[in-house]
Amino acid sequence: MTGGHNPSEERLLAYAAGTLSPPEAVVVAAHLAIRPQNDAWVRALQAVGGRLLDDLEPEPMPDDALARVLARAEADAGQVLASTPLNDMVGLPEPLRRYALGPWRWLGPGMRARDVHAPRDGDCRVILLEIGPGRETPRHTHGGIELTCVIHGAYATETARFDVGDFEEADTEVLHQPRVVSPDPCLCVVALDGQIELDGWLGRLMQPFIKL
């Protein structure tokens, strides 16, 4: 185990197996790029997957399958695999640089967000959220899951502090009000499912935040 706030074991396993939904996988990938110990564990789990694959009961392939693959290999001989261009936010962990980014949107004083054009899953999407020192989000809960990984700076909730690389899993049960505690702005990547629900009349004044 490693220090700090990490994804749950079952979420790391789902990532390793490739069964996690794309937006959630993007946030986990960002976390792994910052936390080498967890990255190593996910790589170790690939070996478990390899062993389970090796142990599977084979399903017979059509007779011409090999010939068809070799023909396709022949057809594209020498083809260079295009690599995805990287976006211009050089401070991001590498997995996030592979996605195009939307424009920054103002959410309130000292608070802005931009979309990460990663694959969506139903209503679940990925955003970058930047909040200035000493600022806090309106107190809110979620219509679905909210996964957060800190990229720069730090924030604290009522119960815990989250530093660079830390991973927070919140769901519909969690009502929280993260507050930035670092001297610099805090930048997070967030997978958000469902509507954000604000608590109280003051929160409802923060309409742009709801549109995240």
Partner 1 sequence: MHGQVSTYQRIRPPVTAVGGEHDRLIEAVALRRDREAFARLFEHFAPRLKAYLMKAGAPAGAAEDFAQDAMLTVWRKAELFDSSKARAATWIFTIARNRRLDVLRQDARRTPMPEIELSQEEPERPDQIVLMAEDALRLKSAMARLTADQIEVLRLAFFQDNPHSEIARRLDLPLGTVKSRIRKAMIKLRTLLDDEKGGEA
Q: Are the C-beta atoms of 45 and 143 separated by less than 8 Å?
A: no
Nearest distance, CB of residue 201 and partner 1, angstroms: 35
The long-range contacts involving 96-101, CB below 8 angstroms and separated by at least 24 positions, are: 96/26, 96/29, 96/30, 96/128, 96/151, 96/189, 99/26, 99/126, 101/128
Nearest distance, CB of residue 74 and partner 1, angstroms: 10
**For residue 82, which phi and psi values (nearest 5 degrees)?**
-70, 135
Q: Which residues, in sequence order, are bridge partners of residue 150?
A: 188
Nearest distance, CB of residue 93 and partner 1, angstroms: 10
Asked if 19 touches partner 1 (CB under 8 A), the answer is: yes
Q: Using CA atoms, how far apart are residues 104 and 116, in angstroms rounded to an integer?
A: 11
Q: How far lies 107's CA from each of 50, 131, 176, 212, in Å?
A: 45, 10, 18, 8
Which listed residue (4, 7, 18, 97) binds partner 1 by CB under 8 A?
18
Q: Which residue lies nearer to partner 1 by CB, 86 or 202?
A: 86
Q: Residue 193, CB half-sphere, CA atoms under 13 Å: how many? A: 15
Q: Which residue lies nearer to partner 1 by CB, 12 or 131?
A: 12
Contacts to partner 1 from residues 93-122, by CB under 8 A: 95, 98-99, 117-119
Q: How many residues bind partner 1 (CB under 8 A)?
A: 57
Contacts to partner 1 from residues 35-74, by CB under 8 A: 36-37, 39-54, 56-62, 65-66, 68-70, 72-73
Q: Which residue lies nearer to partner 1 by CB, 25 or 198?
A: 25
Asked if 82 touches partner 1 (CB under 8 A), the answer is: no
What does the CA dihedral 12, 16, 17, 23 come to, rounded to 10 degrees?
70
Nearest distance, CB of residue 99 and partner 1, angstroms: 7
- Residue 68 region, left (φ>0) first, then alpha (ψ -120 to 50), else beta? alpha
**For residue 87, which phi and psi values (nearest 5 degrees)?**
-75, 175
Draw the binding track, 21-40, toward partner 1 (x: CB under 8 A; -: no contact): -x--xx-xx------xx-xx
| Residues within the interface to partner 1 (CB under 8 A) | 1, 8-10, 12-14, 16-19, 22, 25-26, 28-29, 36-37, 39-54, 56-62, 65-66, 68-70, 72-73, 76, 81, 84, 95, 98-99, 117-119
